[in-house]
Amino acid sequence: MLFKDNFYTITAHSPSESGHSFGIELNAAHSIFEGHFPNNPVTPGVVQMEIVKELLCEATGRNLALKKMGNCKFLAILNPATDAGVNIDLKITEGEDNEIKASAVIKNDNAVYLKMSASYFPQ
């Protein structure tokens, strides 16, 4: 996994019948924030999408790759200096040919940062 235990740490994990909820803590000192952006850190959207994929792999126990992005909305700026702790809620269904369909929300008490739905296939 590209970012787990480096860019973020899993602090909680609760599985349910329809999905999984994760609590994570972002590493505000990570070098990615030196360029995105100095003195005003913003978690890049592509990094948020990768975190969702990594947590989906963690939840399913499979190595997955993105097949199709249904929709993806970035609703607020995720600044690790002020909002390092966030929750990721995943709703997961399995389709044909082992396809994994997931919807995800990254949020905390302050805001909803990302809403997305996508399909993944096992590698």
Tell me the pLDDT tens digit for each residue of 87-111.
999 999 998 888 999 999 999 999 9
Q: Domains for the chain: give ranges and CATH numbers.
A: 8-122 (3.10.129.10)
Digits of tens for pLDDT over the chain (123 positions)? 899 999 999 999 999 888 999 999 999 999 999 888 888 899 999 999 999 999 999 999 999 999 999 999 999 999 999 999 999 999 999 988 889 999 999 999 999 999 999 999 999
Structure tokens at 40: 């005003």
Please tell me what DSSP assigns to residue 121.
Answer: E
